[in-house]
Structure 1
Amino acid sequence: MIVNAVAENVLGTLGTICWTIQLIPQIWKSWRTKDVEGLSGSFVFMWGMAGVTLGVYNITQDLNIPLIAQPELFSFLALVSWGQCQYYGKHQSRTRALLTTIGVMLIFGGLQAGIVFAIRPVVHRGNNRPVQFFGILSAILISLALLPQYWEIFKHKEVIGISITFMIIDLLGGVFSVLSLVFKEKFDILAAISYTMAVVSAKGQVGLVGHLLTR
C-alpha cells in the first residue's frame, strides 16, 4: 500500500467538502418548494445517527482531521433536513420543529462526547472492540437508512423530493473519502465500509433518477 499523507489529507478534504455541502441542495430544494414529499424523514434522521457513531469511530481511531470533521458536518446537515421534514411534512409549528431539531442535535452531540470520553481509555489499553462496534454500527445505520427512502420511491412509483445534485455530490464525497483511506498507513476497513455504503446509496438513487428520466 502506498502511504502518502498529502494525498490522504487532500482526498479527505475533498470528501469533507463534498459531504459538507452535499445536503445543502436538498435543504435548499425543500425550503424553496416548501415540500418534502418523497423525502423520508427516517432516512435523514438515521443518517444523522450514523454521523454520530461514525464520528465516535473516526475520533478514537485518530483518522485525519478532515475525516474527523466530516461525520459531524454530515450529521448536522442531515438533522437540518430532518427538521424540515417535521415542519413541511408533519406540519409542526416552526418553533416546535426548530426546538425539536436543536434538542436532538444537542442530545446527539452530548452522547457522542460521552462515548468518546468513555471508550478512549479502553482503546489506549489496546482493546479495540468498543470502537469497532461503533464502526460497524455506522455502516449498519447507513445501510438501513436506505430502506425507508426506497420505500418512498416505491410508494410514489417515482423519485420525487430528492435533489439529484445532492445525490451526485454525496456519491463524490464517498468516493473521495474511501480513496483517502487508501493512502493511510493502515487501511481502515470499517470506515471504508461506511463510506462505501453512502456511495451505494447515492449511486442507487442516481441510477433510479436516470432510469426514470429515460423511460
Structure 2
Amino acid sequence: MASWHSSALAVIYQILGWFAFTVWSISFYPQVLLNFRRKSVVGLNFDFLLLNFTKHSSYLIYNAAVFFSPVVQRQYHDKYGADEMIPVAPNDVAFSIHAVLLTGFTILQVFLYERGGQRVSKAGALVSLGAWLAGLICLIVAFPSGRWLWLVQVFNIIQLVMTAIKYIPQAWMNFRRKSTVGWSIGNILLDLSGGIANILQMAVQSIDQHSTENFSGNVGKLGLSLESIAFDILFVFQHYFLYYEADKVEENPANTYEALENDPEQAKTSEEHPKNP
C-alpha cells in the first residue's frame, strides 16, 4: 500500500474529506425539513429524486467495493501502479451510505405529503431502469473472468451519468414554473461547499503523491464534484437572481403548482394580489 509523504498533507486531506462529508450529509436535511414544514413536496421534481437515488446507490456500490474488497484493491494496483493510494476514503463510504438512506427517506415523504399532481415521468423511470439493467448486464459479463474492478468502475460511470442528468428535470421545472419554491436553496449551498472541498481533497493527494492518477483512477469522484458545482451555480442563479421576487411570496403549494401548470401568468397575478381570507 502506498503511504503519505507529508503528514501535514495527510491531515489536510482528512480534514477536507470529512468537511465534504459533513456539508454534503447535512445538505440532505434542508429539503427534508422544508417538505415537513410545508407538508408538501410540490416544487420538488420526482424524476430528480429517482435519478438521485439511482446515482447514490451506484456510488455506494463503487465506494464500498473499492474500500473494502482486497480483490478490487489488488486489481486497482495492477492497473494504476502498486505505489498509488486507493482513491476512496472512509468519508466517501460514509457519505454514500448516508446519501442512500436520506434520499430514500425523501422519497418516502412523496407518499406522505401533498404532491399537487406531480409524478415520475416515463423518461425518468426508463433512464433509471436502464441504468440498473446496464449494471446487471455488466455483472453477468464480469463474473466469469473476475473483472471486478471493471465492474465497480461501471457503477462509478453510472453514478457519473446520473449526476450529469439528475438535476436537469429540477432545473427545467424551476424554469417552467419561474420559481424555486419547494426546492431548498440550503441544500444547494451546502452541496456547492462539499463539491469544492472534494476537488481540493483530490488535489492534496495528487500533490503529495506527485501524480494525477488519483484523478484518472477515480473519474467518478472528480466528475461528481465538477458536475455538482456547475448545477449548484445554476440553481443559485435561479434562486437569487431569476426568480427571487416570485419566491418571496408565500403560497399554497398545491394550488400554485396547478395554476402554473395551466396558466403561468394567472398564477403570477394571483401571487401578486392574493385574496383576503
Partner of 1:85: 110
C-alpha separation in 1, matches of 2:63 and 2:199: 13
- 2:65 matches 1:60: yes
CA displacement 1:127-165 (0-9 Å, x = unmatched): 632122111110111122112212321331211101111
Question: Structure 2: which amino acid aligns with 1:14?
Answer: F
Contact 1:48 1:76 in 2 (8 A): no
Partner of 2:41: 36
Moved more, 24-33 or 143-152: 143-152
Aligned residue for 1:181, secondary structure, equals helix
5 Å-filtered alignment, 1:151-162, equals 151-162=172-183
C-alpha separation in 1, matches of 2:193 and 2:114: 28
Contact 1:8 1:183 in 2 (8 A): yes
Question: Structure 2: which amino acid aligns with 1:60?
Answer: A
Contact 2:56 2:100 in 1 (8 A): yes
Contact 2:42 2:115 in 1 (8 A): no
Once the two structures are TM-superposed, the CA of residue 181 in structure 1 deviates from its matched residue by: 1.8
TM-score w.r.t. structure 2 length? 0.61
Counterpart pick for 1:131 among 127, 149, 152? 152
Contact 1:19 1:73 in 2 (8 A): no
Q: Structure 1 residues 166, 11: CA separation in 2 closer, same or farther (over 3 Å shift)?
A: same
C-alpha separation in 2, matches of 1:151 and 1:76: 26
Counterpart pick for 1:193 among 200, 212, 223? 223
Partner of 2:233: 203
C-alpha separation in 2, matches of 1:76 and 1:178: 24
Once the two structures are TM-superposed, the CA of residue 90 in structure 1 deviates from its matched residue by: 4.1
Contact 2:41 2:115 in 1 (8 A): no
Question: Structure 2: which amino acid aligns with 1:9?
Answer: Q
Identity %: 22
The structure, 1 or 2, with the larger RCO (C-alpha pairs under 8 Å, 6+ apart) is 1
Question: Structure 1: which amino acid aligns with 2:65?
Answer: T
5 Å-filtered alignment, 1:101-120, equals none
Larger radius of gyration: 2
C-alpha separation in 2, matches of 1:43 and 1:79: 12
The CA RMSD over aligned residues, in Å, is 2.6
C-alpha separation in 2, matches of 1:174 and 1:163: 17
